[in-house]
Each structure stands twice: as structure tokens, then as C-alpha cells.
Structure 1
């Protein structure tokens, strides 16, 4: 083959191969390059975003853990009308009540008792005018016997269809007379317990082994009632929940009959819880400067209250009498206890010779609770309410009767 024949042969072979489109190849290569650049940029952005999210999560977790270890400071919200306590007695905050003689100037707490509780003129018989929820019971002495006058939650009166006899201590009205459901009123009598149902006007009588009983206190279910006198105490089944239990069962007594209460009693330096067998167990100890307890113990679901005459209290010096203190003790560890010292008027103050300005020992006692936070307190000629959350004292009613027992109907 000659040299000059090679070139024609190469042209002939190349003619069978398709001619490449260089523009398309360049475009395709450019698109691929742009896609690679976009993918790289997207990967970089996602990496940066992932790092940022991880850092934020880590900071949040660290912050929450720090918050658990060191909680931010908060300012507690005080209830409306809060009054700061005057100090502490035995580690418990105490307030000093307005002095005797100032009761009529206190703010009033409105109840069915009215501004002044007095005997009604001519109430209907309970058999003719039955009541739904007792607010109060008072007694009227007539001819050596007592009539029971019953006040309902609607402020209407009825006279029970029975006459009560005098007991050794005088009037047969105990401060714990009204059942927790406001349906029954119970009266200690020589050798018996008399109960009236205000919804039906029925009267029930239970014979007791002792002729000398003076105090009654209902159990929370209103199926049983505790009756006590000097050196004796009984549990009486008055409902249908006896389950074979004896109608009258002797239980351990106390030196002071008013100490036999349920579900709690404050006595002998402790809060004691009532047990189904009639005995008491220790709920908490008290370190209060008690000389003697006065009246009954009344309880709510969270607190129990009773009044005591104190030994000399250094924090609250008195001039004319021993200090008297209402102890509202919490039965839940999460709630605080409180004390109210009944103030006295300085004897040198003009006009204080009036007996209304004197609170001698025995003049005062707890009568019950208005609600879960306000114990009701009997003072000379008045019923007061004390809010244990704020320390504020209000007047409930002025008394024109010799004694009163209060019930749940006192609440609106």
C-alpha cells in the first residue's frame, strides 16, 4: 500500500462514525456540574442546621436540669386581706384578736343567725314546720323545764315537740349538739340521750348507764354519737350502720367530759385521733403553754380547733387575766397551724369597768367551723369568726341568749 492511499481510507472509516454534537455535550456537562454544586451546598446547609438544632436541644436540656437544681425565685401570693402575724408561740404563728368591747365594730360575716341572736316570739311546732338543715339550737327555760328552739338555714324557727330536764351542770345544751349533716339535735339528760330529727319531728331516746352526762359529740357519719360525763363516756349507735354493735358501748373517759370528741381531740399536749374501738391514737404532739383546755374540740377535713387558758406567755403579757388562746392545728403536714390570742383591754382605759370589756377564764370557747378555714368562737356576748389564712377576725352575731350550739346550716 502506498503512503498516499492511507488518507482516503481514514476518511472512509471516519465517515461511518456519527459526528458528536459538541454543544449538547457542553450543556450536559454544565448541568451536571451545577447539580453537583447544588448538592454540595445543600449538604453543607443541612450540616449547619443539624449542628444548630443539636446545640439548641443540648442547651434546653442543660437549662431544664439547672432549673431543677436551682429553681427561680418566686414571690408567694398572699390571700386578700392578709394580716401579718404578731410573732410565734412554740414555733406557731399567732395573731392577737381585737380587744374585748370592740366586737360590734368588726366587719360582719352574714349568717342565718342575724345581727343579734335572740329567742323567737312564737315559733311554730316542729311537727308543723319542719326544717332541712340546722343552723343553731338554743334553749328557753320555762317552769323548770327547757324548750329546744331550732333555727334552720333559711332563718326560720321551730319549737321541738319535747321538754328537757335540767342536768347537774344546768342547761342540757352541749356545744356539739347538732349532727354534721344538720339533721339531728342531741341533748344529754339524766340517764338518757334524747335526739330529735328536724326533718321528720321524730324524737328518739337512748337509755344510758349513768345519770350524770353533759357533753355530746357526733362522729362524722352522724351514725354514732359520743356522750360523756365525769368519769364516764359512751358511744351510742343512732343510725342504721351498727352491724351488730351494741347500741350503747362504754369507752375510755377523760377528766374533762368536753374532751371526748371525734374525729379528733386536743388534750394532754397532743392531737389525738378517734379510733373505731373508742380509743384514741396519737396524731401529733403539741408544745403549747396550756394551763387547761376549755370547751370541745371541733374539726374539719384538714384542721382541728380548741381553746385553752394559757400559762403566762412572754410574747403576749396580760394585765388583768390569764391569756386565752384558740389553737387551730393542722392535721395535714402540708398546712400550717395558727393561734389566736384573745386580746384584753387595758384596765386603765376609761370605760373598761363594763363587764363587756373583760374576758375572764371560761368565758370563751370554740363552737365549730363556718367553713374549712374559719373557726367560730364564743366570747362574752358574741360569736366571732377567725380566718386562719389571713388572721382577720369578724363578728358573726351578738348573743341575746344564754347559750347556743351551731350547725352546718350556718353556711350559705
Structure 2
């Protein structure tokens, strides 16, 4: 991902969110620091390597996933309370201490290594249900999907050529979104400039669905896993892949998620959450309360909540800075649409005098369960998949993402665990 990727993602910061009355769930007090232990590999998953942004794990026909649970050892404290505007908050531990957090079993391997060797796809030995997807560069222009199977294999789809998406201004982005995986991990969709490509992970076959646009930027499954929604700056289209002629049908203001959170550029920002039907059509919209002035990355939902990366009003968040934490202007936002109430997870930029978290540090990957957000955290001391328990405020370690160097571009990853709606 280039600097233009990051710029494009920031400009595209509009997403879904849901609201709930959070008053009854005050943030837990800080947890006592406990000794760190080496993380053990997850049974049945192995040392699987993967990396990137969250992708929707939509099950065609639906399927239940076992509820993830935190391990009982090693933790780092988190703090929380209420901001001056009444918003409940928690604060992430300092950047560089992620390895000391309690482990959270979300069905992912303990290490996600984007340098891992990938075997070539073989129809005689397909990868089974995919647990994650990332893209591997082939020169300057092409990208190939890498499928991570439940048995830990990395399978390179070397015959599937993808290009980066571009907006009307020429800004490039990686063609992998948070709702890309469907069919219980069998199908993966990728936006391309004038079409959507669907990959069958069991057969290696691909299907191309033409879209009447020149700058398709997003593609993903709806909450029911029955339709693909493609979006561009000039419009949105719904595609029913079960029909013999899967035409792209225009949907005014369409979106693939159950909820979407948007924010205006003006200050104070007008932040709203909109509900969508299963065809991707917008229904009602509700204002969101809280200190948010801009959004980052995708918003991913449960049936009742949604989360997204966010930037905050520092006139509000600066009051919670404590010695050694540095500026606080970004983090995560969780909303529940019936009330417009929000919770925020504040991400201190860096320990004083040190390089720490980068701008746009926190990207939502999905929900491990009804209350726990999975997200990627990026800083000078490493990249992590973390879990934020919104009912208590605690932050857990899920997996470490390893690359060749700390300053390597972010590799988007699509997870097929937890909930995406």
C-alpha cells in the first residue's frame, strides 16, 4: 500500500455504525498488570501466516461460529471513564506493549507472517474453507490473492491477476474490502476498475460481473450473503450471483453493510448512521453523538452494533492524556443506531519523545463476537491484530503481523472469522 493508498482510504472514511444505550455498561477500572507469557498456537489452526484489512465472513445460508474467549494469563492494564461530552471511553495501552496483553482466541493463528511461503493452487487439493485472504504483489502492476486455509496452508492463486483500484482522481487502493469473503469462506470478491471478480476457492474458477463504471472501488457481500454490492464514486450496483444473468442493478445510495456511518468535513462534524436493507438500499438515518470529526477505514457491523476507525476532537480527548501517553486524536468508534450513543477507544500516538502509532493506526477487521471488535493496530514497534471488549474496555492481543521491516506498507487482510454484517 502506497502513501496514495492511505490518502485514498482517509478520503473514503465513511462507514456503518449502530447505536445502543451504553449507560448501563460503564467501563471497567484498570486491570492489574500481569506477567507476560509466550502465546501458544491455536489448536487446529497452527502457525498460519496472513496479513491485511478485515473482510466480511458472510456465510451463504448462515452458520454459527464458536464464541471466542480470552485466555486466563498475561495482561496489560487499560483505563476508561467518561469524556466531558458524556461519551464512554477506554484508552489503549502504550504502543509497544501489545505483546503483554491477555491473549484472545478469535480463531486466528498467533502470528500472521506475510512473508510465509505459499504453495500453488491445485484443484486436486483445494484449501477448504478459507480463514483469511491477502494479496501478494507481482511486480509493480499485478496482485495475486493468497488464500489461508483452516489447516494453515497458504495457497497462491497465481493465475488470478488483479490490479489496484483507482478513483476519478487517480488515487490507488488495494482491491480487498471487509466484506470480500462469502459462502463460508468459499467465495472471495475483488473490485476491479469496470467489474467485480468472484473467485471460487474450491475450484480456482473465476467469474467476472461487468459494472457500468470506470472506477469501481469497493465490492462486498451483503449481510445475508446473497448479493454482491459494487460501489464507485458515480454510483452503486447490486449483483445477484445465483441468477444465470447476474446483471449489475443500480441502487441509489447503495451500500453492502447493514449500517453505514458517515461524517462531514466541517467542524463540528455531522456524524450519522444509516440503516440499509438487504438489497443495499438506504433506509433511516440517525445522528451519532460523540467527539468524532472524521472516519478511517471501513465500518463493520454485528446485528446491532458497528465499529470504525475514527479521528476525534482533541479539545475533548486531550483531557484524558496522562504522563507518557502523548497526543490522543484517533482510535475506534462503536455506535448503536437506536440511540445514537457511542463508545470510543482512544489510541495514544506515542510515548513521550518516541515514535509510536502512526496516523490511521487502527483499522477495524470485524467482530469476534457480539461485544468484541477485532482491529489492526500499527506502530513503530510492530503490527498487531487486537480485540477490544466494548462492555469492559479491555484490549486483548489476538495475533502479531510480521513483515520484512517495521516501515513496510500495510498489507490488507481479509478475515473469515467472527461477524460481518
Deviations 1:374-397 (A, max 9, x none): 111122122211111221111222
Matched, 1:341 2:341: no
CA displacement 1:320-367 (0-9 Å, x = unmatched) = 65611311223566x98532111232433xxx13xxx1322x333211
- 2:125 aligned to which of 126, 129, 138: 129
Higher RCO by CA contacts (8 Å cutoff, separation 6 or greater): 2
Name which of structure 1's ranges 319-328 and 370-379 shifts more when overlaid on structure 2.
319-328
Alignment-derived partner of residue 45 in structure 2: none
Report the TM-score when normalising by structure 1. Answer: 0.69
In 2, the alpha carbon distance for the partners of 1:377 and 1:307 equals 9
Show the counterpart of 2:284.
Answer: 282
SS for the counterpart of 1:181 is helix
3-state SS of paired residue (1:247): coil
CA RMSD of aligned residues (A): 3.3
Aligned to 2:393: 391
Structure with the bigger percentage of helix: 1
CA distance in 1, matches of 2:26, 2:223: 33
The correspondence of residues 8-407 of structure 1 with structure 2, limited to 5 A, is 85-88=80-83, 90-110=85-105, 111-125=107-121, 127-143=123-139, 144-160=141-157, 161-168=159-166, 169-179=172-182, 181-240=184-243, 247-253=247-253, 260-268=255-263, 269-276=271-278, 278-282=280-284, 284-317=286-319, 323-331=329-337, 337-348=342-353, 352-353=354-355, 357-360=356-359, 362-380=360-378, 381-400=383-402, 402-407=410-415
Determine the C-alpha separation between the residues in 2 that align with 1:396 and 1:301.
Answer: 23
Contact 1:264 1:272 in 2 (8 A): yes
Max radius of gyration: which structure?
Answer: 1
Does the CA contact (< 8 Å) of 2:227 and 2:239 recur in 1? yes
CA gap 1:232/1:78 in 2 versus in 1, 3 angstroms: closer
**What is the total number of aligned residue pairs between the two structures?**
321
The answer to whether the 8 A contact 2:26-2:81 is kept is no
Gaps in structure 2 of 5+ consecutive residues: 1-23, 32-77, 167-171, 264-270, 404-409
Runs of at least 4 residues of structure 1 off by over 6 A? 75-84
Structure 1: gaps spanning 5 or more residues: 1-74, 255-259
Alpha-carbon distance change, 180 to 308 in structure 1, aligned in 2, over 3 angstroms: farther
Pick closer, same or farther for the CA change 1:93–1:320 going to 2, 3 Å.
closer
Structure 2 SS opposite 1:314: helix
Instruction: State the TM-score, normalizing by the size of structure 2.
Output: 0.67
Q: Distance in 2 between matches of 1:115 and 1:227?
A: 32
Secondary structure of the residue that 2:316 maps to in structure 1?
Answer: coil
Distance 1:209 1:329, change over 3 A: same
In structure 2, relative to structure 1, the CA distance for the partners of 1:94 and 1:156 (3 Å cut) is same
Per-residue deviation, residues 210-253 of structure 1 (Å, max 9, x unmatched): 1212222320121112222233322222235x9x9x72122234
Q: Distance in 2 between matches of 1:314 and 1:76?
A: 21
Match of 1:18 in 2: none
Q: Secondary structure at the match of 2:165?
A: coil
